[in-house]
């Protein structure tokens, strides 16, 4: 039963891996930086676009503004009014606008296909609706990140494979969640800094470890993860949290709502993780109920596939550390 579910989930992830996820997976987000130069004049430029070479989305500024890249002239009224972004749903899942008025701190706004525009006032605090928009946007980004994050899902799959009791699985997944929430918050808030490429390589290695643990179990040896699954999940969860934070910090966070954005992103990650675990458990149950049996010769295949894919990522990420 576990073999079947694991094989299916592995196919899922192997296919996502083909899509270029061998390296750190890309969240398709674009960033537009707008910086005030003088009264009514701004410098507006896309600073982060897709690694895949997708063109930047089109920004539509308030009608009284004229934009000749990179200069934005809004006259005496300044940048007040609605800014919207086109082609959001087609190419990018979101756009972050980093807006810096002269002498003020940078404000970040996240636009999504559901809310592709932002209203700039002359200043002032955030309304309840704006906070709800922000939460919705970051929950979606977190959800998307985990579903495209094949490496994180593969690690969770390995844990599901190794942990036999449902109660222990709950504790293990909870430990993983708590741990990655810690490091996600710490790294995003700037309390700790870890090099991104090293983290990505180490994450790949953590999956190789889980693959080896599965092989051990099949040979009748009781490894560390089988003995203390939640401890292993917690330890590696700390590592995976750094991986999540790399994606989040690339987006730029709204400085006045950083905790809310962080919390929302984490909620999105958890929703995605729970959905994945639920699907794997449902497939296990389905196979059990339908009495689906696999040839015993297939036993080692999932574990070697997990280990093989992860080692491929590890080598690729290590080479990136030293070649660029």
Partner 1 sequence: MTRHIGRLAGVFACALLFPGTAQAHLVSTRFGDFYDGMLHPVTSLEHIVPWLALGLLMAARPQAGRWALLAFPAGLAIGVTLDAAMPALPGFGTANLVSILVLGGLVALDLPLSAAAFAVIACALGISHGYVNGTAMAATTNPVLFAPGVVMAGYLMILLTAAAGAFVTRRWSAARIALRALGSWIFAIGVMMLGTALA
Q: Which of 289, 285, 287 is nearest to 277 (CA)?
A: 285
State which residue, 91 or 250, has the beta carbon closest to partner 1: 91
Hunting for tokens 């990018």 — which residue is that? 92
Q: Which residues pair with 91 in a beta bridge?
A: none
Task: Tell me whether strands 29-38 and 41-48 are parallel, antiparallel or unpaired.
Answer: antiparallel
State which residue, 28 or 40, has the beta carbon closest to partner 1: 28
Cα distance between residue 185 and residue 172, in whole Å: 20
Whole-number minimum distance, CB 140 to partner 1, in Å?
Answer: 9
* Residue 131: half-sphere exposure toward Cβ, Cα within 13 Å: 10
Whole-number minimum distance, CB 126 to partner 1, in Å?
Answer: 26
Whole-number minimum distance, CB 28 to partner 1, in Å?
Answer: 8
State which residue, 51 or 89, has the beta carbon closest to partner 1: 89
State which residue, 34 or 150, has the beta carbon closest to partner 1: 150
Q: What residues line the site for partner 1 (CB under 8 A)?
A: 8, 11-12, 15-16, 18-19, 28, 89-90, 93, 113, 144, 147-148, 279, 282-283, 285-287, 289-292
Q: Which of 104, 135, 125 is nearest to 258 (CA)?
A: 135
Q: What φ, ψ does residue 108 adopt, rounded to 5°?
A: -115, 140
**Residues 6 or more apart whose Cβ sits within 8 Å of residue 258:** 188, 189
State which residue, 53 or 63, has the beta carbon closest to partner 1: 53
Cα distance between residue 184 and residue 197, in whole Å: 16
Whole-number minimum distance, CB 109 to partner 1, in Å?
Answer: 19
Whole-number minimum distance, CB 182 to partner 1, in Å?
Answer: 27
Whole-number minimum distance, CB 293 to partner 1, in Å?
Answer: 9
State which residue, 83 or 148, has the beta carbon closest to partner 1: 148
């Amino acid at each position: 039963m576990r073999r079947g579910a694991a094989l299916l989930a592995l196919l899922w992830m192997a296919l996502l891996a083909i899509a270029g996820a061998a390296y750190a997976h890309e969240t398709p987000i674009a960033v537009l930086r707008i910086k005030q130069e003088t009264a009514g004049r701004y410098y507006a430029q896309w600073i982060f676009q897709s690694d895949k070479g997708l063109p930047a989305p089109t920004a539509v500024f308030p009608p009284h503004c004229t934009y000749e890249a990179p200069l934005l002239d809004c006259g005496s009224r300044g940048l007040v009014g609605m800014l919207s972004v086109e082609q959001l749903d087609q190419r990018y899942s979101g756009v972050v606008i980093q807006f810096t008025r002269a002498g003020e701190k940078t404000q970040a706004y996240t636009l999504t296909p559901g809310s592709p525009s932002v209203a700039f006032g002359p200043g002032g605090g955030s309304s309840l609706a704006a906070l709800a928009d922000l939460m919705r946007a970051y929950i979606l980004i977190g959800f998307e990140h985990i579903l495209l994050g094949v490496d994180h899902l593969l690690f969770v799959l390995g844990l599901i494979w190794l942990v036999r009791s449902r109660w222990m699985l709950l504790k293990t997944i909870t430990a993983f969640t708590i741990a990655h929430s810690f490091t996600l918050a710490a790294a995003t808030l700037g309390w700790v800094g870890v090099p991104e490429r090293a983290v990505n390589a180490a994450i790949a290695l953590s999956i190789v470890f889980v693959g080896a643990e599965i092989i051990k179990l099949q040979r009748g040896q009781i490894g560390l993860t089988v003995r203390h699954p939640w401890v292993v999940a917690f330890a590696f969860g700390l590592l995976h949290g750094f991986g999540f934070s790399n994606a989040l910090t690339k987006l730029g966070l709204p400085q006045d709502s950083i905790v809310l954005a962080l919390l929302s992103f984490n909620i999105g990650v958890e929703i995605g993780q729970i959905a994945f675990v639920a699907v794997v458990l449902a497939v296990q149950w389905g196979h059990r109920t339908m009495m689906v049996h696999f040839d015993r010769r297939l036993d080692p295949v999932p574990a070697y596939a997990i280990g093989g894919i992860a080692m491929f990522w590890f080598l690729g990420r290590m080479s990136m550390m030293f070649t660029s």
